[in-house]
Amino acid sequence: NAGVTQTPKFQVLKTGQSMTLQCAQDMNHEYMSWYRQDPGMGLRLIHYSVGAGITDQGEVPNGYNVSRSTTEDFPLRLLSAAPSQTSVYFCASSQGNEQYFGPGTRLTVT
């Protein structure tokens, strides 16, 4: 089992560019989520999905889109990157009482 994988590990974007952060899990978990981690603020929930075809907004969804066409994959899209989106992004999956986190993507928007 690879667990939760994320690509890329690092990314630098210019303001206004778009990109997709990839997330995949091989544990057949129904629930997946995206968080961003900023200094002094812990992790904040961006979007989550309770199963294929179902997504919902978390605490800080503005500027991000998600889709869930398969159980395994849950990509996060930035349509027009802004410097405020500079952060470390974590994907997680869970089934029951534990969330499993990926290694993270460090994104810098200049």
- Which tokens is 19 given? 């990109």
End-to-end Cα spacing for the chain: 36
Minimal distance, residue 66 CB to another protein, in Å:
15
The answer to whether residue 54 forms part of the interface with another protein (CB under 8 A) is no
How would you class 52 by CB atoms within 10 Å of its CB: exposed for 0-12, middle for 13-18, buried for 19 or more? middle
Question: Which position among 19, 27, 45, 52 is part of the footprint of another protein (CB under 8 A)?
Answer: 45
Could you list the residues that contact another protein (CB under 8 A)? 4, 31, 33, 35, 40-45, 48, 50, 58, 90, 92, 94-99, 101-104
